[in-house]
Amino acid sequence: MTPAVRAARPAPLAEPAREDLRLEVVLGALSDPLRLGIVRKLLLESPETDRPCGWFGIDRPKSTLTHHFKLLREAGVTRQRQYGLERRSEVRTEDLDARFPGLLDLVRAWTPGSRLG
């Protein structure tokens, strides 16, 4: 993403500061397979672009998805921006790598039903 495009994006919604990220809260957010899959998809398929909820192709009620995306944001795993009526999400890669080195590598390597390690 070019610097001009980054500068034109809306400000992020409320989220914890990097220094306030807590491992137990981040792991709690990632403990649900649906949320873990959301983060993994963003990391693998859209590492530099924020994506709307519909991009994920998840067949769940909107209220359920809103809950999951809000939980990820409030835990500090994702960053959300409001574009009109649409919210788009991206993983807070730099913040999470700085606070918890290697965590996102585990998320990238995860597949449903797999055992890591």
| pLDDT per residue as tens digits for the range 73-97 | 999 999 999 999 899 999 999 999 9
Looking at residue 92, its amino acid is R
pLDDT reading at 117 higher than 70 = no
Helix (H, G, I), strand (E, B) or coil at 69: helix
When pLDDT is cut at 50, 70 and 90, the band that residue 103 belongs to is very high
Average pLDDT score over residue span 55-70:
91
Report, in angstroms and rounded to the nearest whole number, the Rg of the chain calculated over CA atoms: 14
Instruction: Determine the Cα–Cα distance for residues 38 and 89; give it in Å rounded to an integer.
Output: 10
pLDDT at site 115: 55
Instruction: Determine the Cα–Cα distance for residues 82 and 9; give it in Å rounded to an integer.
Output: 9
Nearest to 78 by CA among 116, 104, 117, 57: 104
- Sheet bearing 51-52, strands edge to edge: 51-52, 86-91, 78-83
pLDDT at site 116: 47
| pLDDT per residue as tens digits for the range 12-50 | 999 999 999 999 999 999 999 999 999 999 999 988 889
